[in-house]
Amino acid sequence: MPRTAREVVFVDGVRTPFGKSGKGLYAETRADDLIVRVIRELMRRNPGLPPERVDEVAIAATTQIGDQGLTLGRTAAILAGLPKSVPGYSIDRMCAGALTAATTAGAGISFGAYDVVIAGGVEHMGRHPMGEGVDPNPRIISEKLVDPSALVMGNTAENLHDRYPTITKERADSYAVRSQEKVAKAYADGKIQPDLVETLVRSAEKGFGLATQDEPPRPGTTMESLAGLKTPFRAHGNVTPGNAAGLNDGATGTLLMAEEVAEELGLDAKMRLVDFSFTGVEPEVMGVGPVPATEKLFARQGISIDDIGLIEINEAFAVQVLAFLEHFGIADDDARVNPWGGAIAVGHPLASSGGRLMMQLARQFAERPDVRYGITTMCVGLGMGGTILWENTNYEGGK
């Protein structure tokens, strides 16, 4: 029997505004309601897509417990009003959950098993702190399979500073200030708002309201304001709340389909999935993961960083981004990198963040027909990295 290999395209993406965990926007909102809001908005924005044409719903969450459990892809699909014939499943690759949902479901499209998929992620770190309810096998530590610091992400960031001694606290703070400035400018220029869906929130004290923009950004952040922050993971260390992403809540969703199906339905294919790569690294320096993942992908494709016109890299910690840039010989302020800022400013709700990277890259592609290729890349807890290579469907030539 013949086997099918088809082009996979990104058609649309949407996300809730990201909130601060604890007493933030979504303190009294369920995690599954956040992802339901995203799925409903994807369908509303694409009326040419009959709901019954959705073949799969893949939703990621890092802490799959409570309102982030119970096969979230399936339950969210039902709650969102998709036909009962639409299946769904859950995915966990920690921070790269939404990236993995896209590559896994996208591979199903390429293989011919699906025509249309919804892939996304949600994380409510206020309700479910990372690691809640887990029971790590004691052999991990007793047999010294990993360094104990591997289980605390902030410690792994300090370890990465050790590995890259040229990445100082001042350099990390400077990167963080630029991230805040770029997010503020992107908001002022109306770049981020088109990806956001107003989301109902409730408070026993204040009643109902609407979340309309990201809560974490701190416009006006300066080097002076970051200089005095404590280093909670190591005395006299380098990692602070100012040069790392915070603890956040939020959901993202993306719509992927076969290119010919997008044409059939009259939907705009914004970028084409070319290739992807995941790889493992020493868990105690998990932040270096994007380097070998990207190198592996480049080697397979026969390309280099010079062929990449836009880079959306998750800012779990400034040092992790700077290690990637240093490895590839990219300046800290290279215009290709996170043009609209990143997670240090806007937030990092773990498994959902990959969706934000994808939708921002797609919008940047639309503005840059001179750019052919871009990547979305991120480090992953327990020592992994993931990178997706995308092609701009609006490419009109040039480098």
Count CB neighbours of 144 within 10 A: 9
Indicate the pLDDT class of residue 1, thresholds 50, 70 and 90. Answer: low
Q: From residue 207, give the alpha-carbon distance in Å to each of 17, 28, 78, 210.
A: 19, 11, 27, 10
Residue 240 has pLDDT above 60, yes or no: yes
Indicate the pLDDT class of residue 151, thresholds 50, 70 and 90. Answer: confident
Residue 131 confidence (pLDDT): 85
Domains of the chain, each with CATH number or no CATH:
145-191+238-243+274-388 (3.40.47.10)
Residue 353 confidence (pLDDT): 98
b/e map 310-324, b = 16+ CB within 10 Å = bbbbbbbbbbbbbbb
Rounded to whole angstroms, the Cα distance separating 313 from 325 reads: 10
- Residue 220 Ramachandran class (φ > 0 left, ψ -120 to 50 alpha, else beta): left
When pLDDT is averaged across residues 370-381 and rounded to a whole number, the result is 97
Residue numbers annotated as active site: 95, 348, 379
More confident residue, 4 or 315: 315
pTM of the model: 0.96
